[in-house]
Amino acid sequence: MTKNTDLQGRRGVDILHEPLLNKGTSFTEAERDALGLRGLLPPKVTTQAQQVERTLGNVRRKATDLDRYTYLISLQERNSALFYRVVMDNLNEMMPIIYTPTVGLACQKYALIFRRPQGLFISSQDRGRIKEILRNWPRPDIRMIVVTDGERILGLGDLGSCGMGIPVGKLSLYTACAGIPPSQCLPVMLDVGTNNQALRDDPLYIGLAQERLRGPAYDELVDEFVNSVQEVFPKACIQFEDFGNTNAFRLLHKYRDTVCTFNDDIQGTAGVTLAGLYGTLRLTGGKLTDKKFLFLGAGEAGVGICDLIVTGLMAEGLSQAEARERCWLVDSKGLVVKSRTDLAEHKLPYAHDHAPMPDLRAAVEALKPTALIGVSGMPQTFTEHVVRAMGRLNERPVIFALSNPTSKAECTAEQAYTWTDGRAIFASGSPFPPFTLNGGTHLTGQGNNSYIFPGVGLGVIASESMHVTDEMFFVAAKTLATMVKEEDLAAGSVYPDLQRIREVSATIATAVAEVVFTRKLTKMPRPQDIAAHVQAQMYQPEYDEYVKP
């Protein structure tokens, strides 16, 4: 497909300053003459492959991952195609730098490393003019928007406007992992203030140094944003990202049936986790209905995963009530049970009749779960006693420590394998290196949402779906699970090799588009070959030829 915008009359430095057009030293002699670039570049014409070689050398010479992140983001701001060529050809190396875990540190330092806007900042002071602000964005055909208000950035909490690194990084993965053209992506920060006092006191903080907006004023701002998107970018899907628990559930329920939107923290995390659980069945045997799931963390991720597991269990014949009884939650005050009077509304479906349990350790011993899933953002909460108990109760204990970044993981891969004598089936949200125990090497599976949301987004865009449904995430999870090879499982991973992510995303997108056309969620005519149609939408980071030799 067409990769970049056309020149639109641009010449000279205007071309070099537009990352979607800039080729750097790869502009040909003919292009330099015709486009007014002569003298603005060194005289040698280089290939993209040579540029990649130089870029990789520069990245690898950096002293820290934050330095590598800053260098790569600067490249993205200069030369979009080269950035994506480097990332796509070296995903296993680059993804931990441009996204988790490094993006968490980048957000913490965002005020110091901010150089050039890569998206839109819309603040609570912009009420009444959000449409005007959206129209300031120079690219009119926006199909995917990732928006955050910065309240719950990864496991790091309220980072206010510094959370803009998350939408920027997320959309980079939409392009790198699923081929959604960067010209169709828009990161948005809704700056409604921050309750992080350290940020408010920091004179270098880039956001509104005021307490977070709450109540009707907050809802009116979000409502104006959502409605403005419908007018300015009518084909755009809105992904809500890293909102606080109360707003995340509320906004998803409010908008999901009226606009094209989803919440990756709730639905994407659920999809990748369910896919991993299907993968574990190939190692443990049995069916999903045989298993019991215990979660540490009862927020967006935990409840979202439970909801999708329930969908999977009901597909295998259980009633909704029976399915929910397989899912148990532990929050900061202990086991979620019916007798508690302090439960938020989103936890109530998983509040069961059971004696109160003060903590995770007691809950494991009492419930005897087959899978332990951490989505708490609390590091080292899968203690040695808890993990050893899981190993005592299960021949192959399933332990998913999914909190991001790595510093927030409930336990490390080394701990999970060591404390279970290598029997654990382990997955984490951020990557851990391979671990060798008793002569065997365990390749840790990364239960990263990037296996799910890019493919779902591509399917939604390719089919011009009017809505995003839970069925799409269930289908995405089932599809992802089928793409795990025997050699992945043998190495200890319940997910495919990350380097196959574009193949995975295209397959998921095809399955999602099939749902869209079957459910009549689009006005687009059904393509004769959906898979070919999806493939035709996928961006390739190759340079356009602006002038024929």
Catalytic positions, written as ranges: 99, 170
Long-range contacts of 414-423 (CB under 8 A, 24+ apart): 415/382, 415/384, 415/387, 416/382, 416/387, 417/442, 419/384, 419/387, 419/388, 419/391, 420/387, 420/388, 420/390, 420/391, 421/391, 423/391, 423/395, 423/396, 423/397
- Distance, in Å, from the CA atom of 143 to the CA atom of 256, rounded to the nearest integer, reads 17
Contact 280, 425 (CB under 8 A): yes
Tokens 């799931």 -> residue: 293
- Distance, in Å, from the CA atom of 328 to the CA atom of 314, rounded to the nearest integer, reads 17
- Distance, in Å, from the CA atom of 55 to the CA atom of 250, rounded to the nearest integer, reads 44
Q: Which residues contact 480 (CB under 8 A, 6 or more apart)?
A: 271, 272, 275, 451, 452, 455, 495, 496, 504, 508
Length of the chain: 549
Contact 171, 185 (CB under 8 A): yes
457-478 burial by CB neighbour count: b if 16+ within 10 A, else e? bbbbbbbbbbbbbbebbbbbbb
- Distance, in Å, from the CA atom of 277 to the CA atom of 293, rounded to the nearest integer, reads 10
- Distance, in Å, from the CA atom of 415 to the CA atom of 421, rounded to the nearest integer, reads 10
Helix/strand/coil (H/E/C) assignment for every residue in 515-529:
HHHHCCCCCCCCCCC
